[in-house]
A and B are shown apart, each in its own frame.
Chain A
């Protein structure tokens, strides 16, 4: 449990600074420091056991089926890294307290820092590679926040995004690599994977996994050619640079290579990929560092170079090289973090980091000068400091490593790298602190308060101590960590003097050459500036910006609202896929005999075709289109009637009437003609697609109509049980209200909703806004009938009304046994009421309306639901019907079915929905200036308010 707690502590503690900043900056920093110190303390408690060779495990089951578990383990390597992360973290927290100004939101800073710290500790303690991936990506995310901490700086924002893009890419590659690795090993637990060296290296998937994992490591550790993000991340506040970009995050890649060393290293692939990348990075970055004037940029490239060095050592795959790598990791963390903090102090005090504007700080900032000098000398590899020790070990390893058979190649380049390293380290001191005091510093420099230089001082003390007495101060840690890395017992021998070895001569050459380079810096710099070189940011932007623009072009272009293109693509897709599916399956024609062709259907068929063709040809004329649509609808109704489906025919014809009337009213507010928008080519294309779809659906229907179902249809059951089970002889109605009453319940709900939506939409349109303005300014450009409400029409509809109601009731009542039912009855009554509106206008008719249409719909749905719920009380499921026979004296015996209650609901909903739609359209008409008449017909009566608006 305690290992998990160490990793969890920073995450939990991340809440504290955000809250405690309200108690002041000191409380905030103190809380953050306490959290880190606590974690460090817990780690320290485990140290003795780990150093004695024990490995501590904590296992918490998380997602066992996937193999993702919160398993942690602590060995020497983990101890070293966790110690570095927490120890340097503590120093950074102290330093940041004094570095950040009062304008910076400190609570946020510490929160992000702790999140990052937790993620890092998580990486180094994970015993499960999936868990490790979780923490790995978390470091990318939290560092994104830290780099972009100064939100107002564009460089910070861009640097943050670049870092996230590069390390994110690597992280995703690593996910793939790790999954492959886990699948080879059969477990995602590191302890298991570390035992599976043979299986992994023998697998066909070894190389892909290796490359993918290395991609993750190289991007994180800023190895060439992914090194470019690191200098841009320097836009972050200096504590971030010191912590993330020197001591910890960039070392995560190194850590992982060391962690995977036992299973992945030792093959030629590993050597050539890792060692070569490391070598190239070391030399290239060191050279660039020499020509950077910005203190932090110089340090950034120097960091890249040193990371390359360690990578190269890990790439050698030998035990001695691994020891050197581990030792250099420790040393680099000490001197580079100290140097970053010193650079931050210089920046803080002088308000510049530009070496061209610095110099002469030796006398003004003696403490900073002393600390910087010692750290820089260590970085240069000058004896007796610790940097010298690990550099010697590196050169020693390089001296007897051949690259593709060339013995000279590695030593030569390594010496070159070391030479650049000496040069830039000395330049840091010479151009920053030595020389005459200047008069033009942006701010008058002096040493910072103790709190600010305390942290680098601790590190400098440490690096001197390691340099003077390497074995007692650091030897035990190197042993433990290197032992864990290589998977065996290790006894490092670190000393200053190995005799007159090649390494010594290479060291001497590096220092001598470095001094010469530094003295010739001015002309070299001119040459450097004169030569063209790839600018990472421009390249990055050059790739990303066009990508984003292209992405915008493609997605916006595809989704620009061109409905006809959407339909074209979708139709082509369905038709193609359908045809392909049909042609690849086995098929046999149907056995059903066709019915003989009579005259009536032939005429109907021609009418249907003619109306459709006419519609296509004349669709620009909206009114005419509606007429043709009406023709189509009527023929379909006739078709139903002809094919002995009177219920359908009745429904269809009434629906046609109601919708055509409503559409006619709506057409009033649309242009009479639609604009011609499409060219001939588009029309031909769309025509071809439409024909294909039409032929496809026609063919499908033909195939279905000429065959019987492969199994007996459920319709047989409905026919057999309509009377006995449903109590009705009209099977269609029994299906609607009983067998599939639930469908009907859903459909009347749809109708009701549709009416509510029309109402809501109308209300929206009628609110103040452009649509409303258009309506208010509506001019009746078209000729209108002189008599809006003709007397004959009014009288006729009045007479029709009671008859229609009667018919409606009749149709409703007979519905269960003969064609009819609630739906049709609702439509009949609705059409009768529609006629009243048409005859006498909205105002007059509404005034005589007793029931709100909303209420009709609501009550209709509620009655239908109540009919369903009622059956619960009889212990039956929703919508179970019952029927019985009743005798009321004057009448004959008749049947009553509960389905009738349901049908009343259907009736009311249909009526309400049609009427609400009409009322909504009428409201639009009124807004558009239609006169509201209070009289039933337009005759001049004294004082009737005729002509009033």
Chain B
């Protein structure tokens, strides 16, 4: 049994309490440990990524109980990819946090950050539906702590909305799990895949309901209309770097849809058929439109980026709703892109806000310190998120457009392209207000303490976007392999070594 599989969960789960125990009052030490731990996580994730590339999915039986009776972790290429993405993003965000001193503004930032990583990695690695719920809880509570880090009226109020709405998701998750367990008698995802496929016709209606409920749960995490309400306030009010980290949290929802619906409810399942695809596509299109419209109408930078995040989730869910290998491959590429792009724009928005001393776009302010540099970074980030060339957003959208041919083509194309335009308008308006109109006043910018580490983080994320673009060929090829493996289902199920007949 390969213990490295569980390392991405255990490592932060040990570091976080260690920090609470021994270095509660020593921020520098916490920083050292946190960075070291995240670097280590990156290394482990890189190793897992390399390991998964040329081996079939691998299973780790927790407590040494066989599937489906115990909990298993499953490392397939998708899980490895998501863990690696999380680890990289986390490292960049952490550097930014240290560079800007965000961690000084409240208590327990680093332990909560590590717990958050534990939740994320666990959600990506687990092969058990109930265990997924547990990690959703870890995620939720840790993210709530991070979200209200630093306090303040707006933030705390948004925090209540965030946690309340997501508790609705947790409740629904339990309903969904209870239903599917009541029908199939199992919780292991591979086993669910096998059993739902061979379900007697009399059980179809209930399992359809279970799927709908689970879809709603993941839609809440992924901010899909009509479950997106929590996102704008939360992301806009959260500390910038935390919002950046949250870029991967919405992806947990997207990942869960790919994983659970690809494995348990593929479109050729007799009981469910194309039901979820039919529900997902219109919702995703509306999400995309709403996000784009929000970008155009946003009155503050934070909300603008938040709506852009919603739009990118819409695009992602459009691609996912195809439930075909080519669409899934496009979705995965876009997933990588949109995580990095959303994160980098949140960091840049934080840089701007720290210098402007406020969030409103319309407020007249003198030019900010380091304006040239930050404006170029914003330009690059906005290009990426709006899906303009030359960055990966454009390539990603091309792949999605290319994957949708046939009856749904007109709608998908029109919405994706039209929303790009609206977002371009929104971003150009914001950029013009922030970085150009400031030159109407001729006062000197307020000096600000330099934070090279913050720029390293932003640069690192942008560099990743550039790399994702330039290495588009090999990356896409790998993603196509992942998509093929997902839609084949057999390797994943085989890895679980399910018993032929149960005792």
User: Chain A interface (Cβ within 8 Å of chain B)?
Assistant: 61-68, 108, 130, 133-135, 137-138, 141, 144-145, 148, 151-152, 154, 156-157, 160-161, 164-165, 168-169, 172-173, 175-176, 179, 183, 544, 547-556, 558-559, 561, 563, 565-567, 569-570, 573-574, 577-578, 581-588, 697, 700-701, 703-705, 707, 709-718, 720-721, 725, 738-743, 745-747, 749-750, 752-754, 756-757, 759-761, 763-765, 767, 769-770, 854-855, 857-862, 865, 868-869, 871-872, 876-881
Among B86-94, B139-147, B351-359, which stretch is in contact with chain A? B139-147
B416-451 interface (Cβ within 8 A of A):
417-418, 420-422, 424-425, 428-429, 432, 435-440
Q: Is the beta-carbon distance between A760 and B216 smaller than 8 angstroms?
A: no
Q: Nearest residue in B to A144 (C-beta to C-beta)?
A: B428
A877: contacting residue among B64, B205, B212, B294, CB under 8 A: B64
Q: How far is the CB of A583 from chain B (nearest CB, A)?
A: 8
Cross-chain contact B165 with A587 (CB below 8 angstroms): no
Closest A residue, CB atoms, query B69: A717
Let me know if B436 and A740 touch, CB within 8 A.
Answer: no
Question: 9 smallest A-B Cβ distances: which pairs?
Answer: A551-B297, A764-B151, A709-B185, A713-B185, A588-B202, A552-B297, A587-B205, A585-B205, A746-B134
Which residues of chain B come closer than 8 Å to A753, judged between CB atoms? 112, 115, 138, 141-142, 145
Measured in the bound complex, the distance between the Cα atoms of B416 and A473 in whole Å is: 48
Interface string of B187-209 (1 = CB under 8 A from A): 11000000100011111111111
Q: Cα distance A720–B503 when bound, in Å? A: 8
Determine whether the beta carbon of B107 is less than 8 Å from that of A760. Answer: yes
Is B172 an interface position by the 8 A CB rule?
Answer: yes
CB neighbours of A749 from chain B (8 A): 13, 115, 118, 138
Is the pair B388, A179 in contact by a Cβ cutoff of 8 Å?
no
- Asked if residues A714 and B186 are in contact (CB atoms below 8 Å), the reply is yes
Question: In this assembly, does B279 line the interface, its C-beta being within 8 Å of a C-beta of chain A?
Answer: yes
B6-24 Cβ-contact flags toward A at 8 Å (1 or 0) = 1000100110111011001
**Contacting pair B108 A759 (CB below 8 A):** yes
**Measured CA separation A66–B418 after assembly (Å):** 22
Asked if B111 lies at the interface with its beta carbon under 8 angstroms from chain A, I say yes
A2 and B499 alpha carbons, distance in the complex (Å): 61
Minimal beta-carbon separation of B485 from chain A (angstroms): 16
Interface string of B472-503 (1 = CB under 8 A from A): 11001100100000000000000000000011
* Contact, CB under 8 Å: B64 / A876: yes
Q: List 20 A-B contacts (CB under 8 A).
A: A134-B389, A168-B424, A554-B297, A563-B164, A581-B209, A585-B271, A709-B184, A710-B195, A713-B186, A714-B187, A738-B63, A741-B63, A742-B131, A746-B131, A749-B138, A750-B134, A757-B141, A858-B21, A878-B60, A878-B63
What chain B residues lie within 8 Å of A752 (beta carbons)? 17
Q: Flag if B64 contacts A854 (CB, 8 Å).
A: no
Task: Known contacts A573-B227, A855-B21, A869-B10; decide if A68 and B472 are in contact (CB<8 Å).
Answer: yes
Q: Is the CB of A569 within 8 A of B21?
A: no
CB pair B20 A740 closer than 8 Å: no
B314: interface (CB < 8 Å): no
Q: Are A862 and B186 in contact (CB under 8 A)?
A: no
Q: How far is the CA of A144 from the CA of B144 in the complex (A)?
A: 40
* CB of B383 closer than 8 Å to a CB of A: yes
| Chain B residues closer than 8 Å to A152, beta-carbon distance | 436, 439-440
- Looking at the assembled complex, report how far the CB atom of A713 sits from the nearest CB atom of chain B, in whole angstroms: 3
Specify which chain A residues have a CB less than 8 angstroms from the CB of B279 in the assembled complex. 577
Residues of A close to B115: CB separation below 8 A: 749, 753
Q: Is the CB of A574 within 8 A of B212?
A: yes
0/1 per residue, B118-137, Cβ < 8 Å to A? 10001000000011001101
Report the bound CA distance from A349 to B271 in whole Å. 80
B206 near A582: Cβ-Cβ < 8 Å: yes
Does B213 belong to the interface (CB within 8 Å)? yes
Chain A residue at smallest Cβ distance from B276: A581
SS class, residues of chain B in contact with chain A:
helix
1/0 per position for B69-87, CB-CB distance to A under 8 A?
1110000000000000000
Q: Do residues A711 and B62 form an inter-chain contact, with CB atoms below 8 A?
A: no
Complex Cα spacing A65 to B138, Å: 39
**Cα distance A145–B105 in the bound complex, in angstroms:** 37
Indicate if the CB atoms of A65 and B502 lie closer than 8 Å: no
Which of B118, B205, B379, B401 has the most chain A CB atoms closer than 10 A to its own CB? B205
Which of B316-324, B392-400, B455-463 binds A?
A: B392-400
Asked whether A573 and B216 contact (CB < 8 A) given A582-B206, A709-B185, A749-B118, the answer is yes
- Complex alpha-carbon distance, A554 and B68, angstroms: 47
A563 to B164, CA, bound (A): 8
A712 lies within 8 A of B185 (CB): yes
In the complex the two chains form, is A66's CB within 8 Å of B502's CB?
no
Q: Does B452 have its Cβ within 8 Å of any Cβ on chain A? A: no
Q: Which of A130, A573, A765 has the most CB of B within 10 A?
A: A573
Chain A nearest CB from B339 CB (Å) reads 19
> Would you call B298 and A555 a contact (CB within 8 A)?
yes
> In the complex, what residues of B have CB within 8 A of residue A704's CB?
178-179, 182-183, 206
Q: Report the nearest A residue to B414, measured CB to CB.
A: A176
* Given A566-B229, A700-B175, A710-B200, A763 and B186 contact (CB-CB distance below 8 Å): no
Taking a contact as CB atoms under 8 Å apart, the answer to whether B293 and A750 are in contact is: no
Nearest CB of B to A354, in Å: 23
- B290 contacts partner chain A, Cβ-Cβ < 8 Å: yes
Known: A563-B165, A581-B212, A862-B17. A746 touches B135 (CB 8 A): yes
- Tell me how far the C-beta of A197 lies from the nearest C-beta in chain B, rounded to whole angstroms: 22
Shortest beta-carbon distance, B204 to chain A, in Å? 4
The distance in angstroms between the C-alpha atoms of A108 and B371, with both chains bound, is 13
Query: Are A854 and B20 closer than 8 Å at their CB atoms?
Result: yes
A550, A763, A869: which contacts B297 (Cβ < 8 A)? A550
User: How distant is the Cα of A763 from the Cα of B383 in the complex, in angstroms?
Assistant: 40
Q: Which residue of the partner chain A has the closest CB to B137?
A: A750
B405 at the interface (CB under 8 A from A): yes
Say how far B38's CB is from chain A's closest CB, in angstroms.
18
Contacts of A747 in B (CB 8 A): 134, 137
The smallest beta-carbon distance between B123 and chain A, in angstroms, is: 10
* Given known A-B contacts A66-B402, A710-B195, A760-B108, A862 and B14 have beta carbons under 8 A apart: yes
Q: Which of A561, A860, A868 contacts B233 (CB 8 A)?
A: A561
CB B135 to nearest CB in A, in angstroms, measures: 6
Q: Which residues of A contact B438 (CB under 8 A)?
A: 151
B502:A137 contact, CB within 8 angstroms: no
Quick check: is B467 within 8 A (CB to CB) of the other chain? no
17 more contacts with CB within 8 A, not counting A151-B437, A179-B402, A710-B195, are A65-B473, A66-B395, A66-B398, A137-B388, A138-B390, A552-B298, A561-B161, A578-B209, A581-B212, A714-B185, A725-B65, A742-B63, A750-B134, A753-B112, A759-B108, A760-B148, A855-B21
Is B211's beta carbon under 8 Å from chain A? yes
Q: How close is A132's CB to chain B, nearest CB, in angstroms?
A: 10
Q: Mark B356-392, 1 if CB is under 8 A from A, else 0.
A: 0000000000000000100000010001000011100
